[in-house]
Amino acid sequence: MATSASAQLFDVSRLDDDPVPLEVLSGRHEGEFASVEGQAIQETTRRPRWWRLTAREAVQPADSPNLVLRFPYLNRVEVWRPGDAIPVRRALIGADADSEFSTRALVIPLPQGLATGESIYLRVSALSPNAMSVDVEPLAAVHRQDLRHVALRTFVLGTLVVLALLAVGFWVGIGERTYAYLSLTLAAQAFYLACVGGEVRAVPWLAELVGLDPRVGRMFGLLGVVASNSFVALYLNLPERHPRFMRVLHGCNAALLVLLLANLGTAAGWLAWVANSVFLVSAVTTFAVSVRAAWSRQREAYFMVLSWAPMIALVMLRLGE
């Protein structure tokens, strides 16, 4: 039942306003919904906005279908299915989180299915401009995909935590400051991924701290980049071997520390854009100096080239999007 790019289940449209639910459900604003291409909800404002999903074909109730919103980050949705007077509320974290499903997606049951032309209304409160892809999956497929997601996330987060602990051990054992920065880098990355992916809900006090505030996850992300730049500087001995690259990373760290202070006072969207730009400069600089050091037969640089090549490829792909 899962959709594909060539077989879209829904016509997606957006209302650039936030009227009361009764007005929307009564059809008073039907003509004001603007059509949106694709099968995704991407909200660019933090004020609540309405979205409408109109079924292009019938969804049969036999397989226990579910509306699935993938990659929700800290976004919250209220969903009115056909005939609903009270919405189904969903979020990855907080009182609206559904612990029956993984953090892969927000899952809303469609026990009655959908007839062709029927609409689902969503009131979206977005903290991120990231797109939430829309799909319909039978319950068995939801559980199957959830198991895969949990296995992957457990592997990634577990690996980061174990490596961070090993780095602490090396730091304590041999007193090499490089490993302290490596440990902080890995730990910050683990916390960042857990915040944006929703896994923090397993730790109630941390989930309450994160809540609807993107600044906590952003703080871990910024700390991770600062620590990573410091690790690279020491590991490749940039002050002596590559002073020009060292100055660039010093500038990036100075900008990141300013952003950390700004992050304490505001959750504005521009801050994330600037932080991503600084991260891009840091990543490109790190990869460039690693390649140059490897070309100069600096042995420790070979590891850096291998470890950063996938990151640079991912960054280029995201820029291409």
Full-model pTM: 0.86
Mean pLDDT score of the chain, rounded to an integer? 90
Contact 39/12 with Cβ under 8 angstroms? yes
Of 114, 15, 24, whose CA–CA distance to 67 is shortest? 114
Q: What is the pLDDT of residue 44?
A: 82
User: For the chain, what percent of residues have pLDDT higher than 70?
Assistant: 95
Q: What is the pLDDT of residue 211?
A: 66
Average pLDDT over residues 232-258: 94
pLDDT of 117 strictly over 90: yes
**E strands in the chain:** 10-15, 34-36, 40-41, 49-55, 65-70, 76-80, 88-90, 105-109, 119-125, 132-138
Q: What is the pLDDT of residue 80?
A: 97
Q: What is the pLDDT of residue 4?
A: 42
Q: Which residue ranges form the domains of the chain, and what is each CATH number?
A: 10-143 (2.60.40.2380), 145-320 (no CATH)
User: For the chain, what percent of residues have pLDDT higher than 90?
Assistant: 71
**Given CA atoms 55, 58, 64, 65 in this order, what sign does their dihedral have?**
negative
Q: Residue 317's pLDDT band (boundaries 50, 70, 90)?
A: low
Average pLDDT over residues 262-284: 87
Distance (Å, whole) CA 282 – CA 312 = 11
Contact 188/157 with Cβ under 8 angstroms? no
Distance (Å, whole) CA 126 – CA 73 = 9
Contact 54/118 with Cβ under 8 angstroms? yes
Residue pLDDT, tens place only, 207-240: 887 766 788 888 999 999 999 999 999 999 999 9
Q: What is the pLDDT of residue 158?
A: 95
Residue pLDDT, tens place only, 153-195: 999 999 999 999 999 999 999 988 999 999 999 999 999 999 8
Q: What is the pLDDT of residue 266?
A: 81
Which of 13-27, 222-236, 251-265, 292-306 comes out lowest in average pLDDT? 292-306
Q: What is the pLDDT of residue 2?
A: 47
Average pLDDT over residues 269-297: 90
Q: What is the pLDDT of residue 168?
A: 94
Residue pLDDT, tens place only, 69-115: 999 988 999 999 999 999 999 999 888 999 999 999 999 999 999 99
Contact 223/262 with Cβ under 8 angstroms? no
Residue pLDDT, tens place only, 26-81: 999 999 999 999 999 999 888 999 999 999 999 999 989 999 999 998 899 999 99
**Angle in degrees, CA 29, 30, 35, rounded to 5:** 115
Distance (Å, whole) CA 184 – CA 272 = 21
